[in-house]
Structure 1
Amino acid sequence: MSDEPLQVSIRILDKDYRVACEPHEEEGLRDSARLLDGRMREIRQTGRVIGTDRIAVIAALNIAHELIQLQRAGGVPRDDVLVERLGHLQGQLAEALAHAVPPLDASPEKG
């Protein structure tokens, strides 16, 4: 049995991304992608933020804020492993978003 990194396909805001992760992290990566996709959809539906990159930044800030609030309340351990894993996942998602080609229908809606 090999522990080589996997190439996992995830879908965020109607775009597919391939992200490398360790086999034991695949479920967590998919859960993270579903969470991020849901948050980004919520933000997009408000109509107050336009552009996938801006929507992603606002979603990331909201999720980071919630994590910090949980840590301060004692609900999430502040250990180095957790910080390292979150940083690793954030880096993978940022890299996937940076290499994404915007869809052809990415122009802001008028109305």
Structure 2
Amino acid sequence: MSQSPEPVTVRIVDREYRVMCTPEQRRTLMESALFLDQQMREIRDSGKVSSMDKIAVMAALNLAEEVLKLRQQMHERRDQVDSRVRDLADRLDRALERD
């Protein structure tokens, strides 16, 4: 059974944010905040973008691109597995028909 959400404070690029999450989600939230903090600091430290809004948008775009690439890879792998399973099922059917 899921517990009630509670406030958790995360720190991203020297700013604190309070986010509601369940105790089960806390670890993932903290890891996500740390990852985002690292991404935003890298963008800020590159010196190409100085506005926090622009840094946040650039980080969001980078993460969105990564998510889309991973989704595409997942779909391609699923298609490969489905194709392989169909091939094996066909081979099994042919082998059983011979018996």
TM over 0.5: yes
CA shift, 1:2, in A, is 7.4
Work out whether residues 3 and 23 of structure 2, in 8 Å CA contact, stay in contact via their aligned partners in 1. Answer: yes
Corresponding residue number in structure 1 for 2:71: 71
Bigger helix share: 2
Task: Provide the aligned C-alpha RMSD in A.
Answer: 1.7
**Could you tell me how far apart the structure 1 residues matched to 2:58 and 2:71 are?**
20
1:6 counterpart letter in structure 2: E
Q: Is 1:14 the equivalent of 2:5?
A: no
Q: Percent identity?
A: 47
Q: Deviations over 1:75-96 (max 9, x none)?
A: 8xxxxxxxxxxxxxxxxxxxxx
**In the TM superposition, what are the counterparts of 1:35-50 in structure 2 within 5 Å?**
35-50=35-50
Q: Which has the higher contact order (CA 8 A, sep 6+)?
A: 1
- The two structures have a TM-score, normalised by structure 1, of 0.63
Aligned partner of residue 33 in structure 1, secondary structure = helix
Unaligned runs of 5+ in 2: 76-99
Work out whether residues 2 and 22 of structure 2, in 8 Å CA contact, stay in contact via their aligned partners in 1. Answer: no
Corresponding residue number in structure 1 for 2:86: none
- The two structures have a TM-score, normalised by structure 2, of 0.70
Structure 1 runs (4+) deviating above 3 angstroms are none
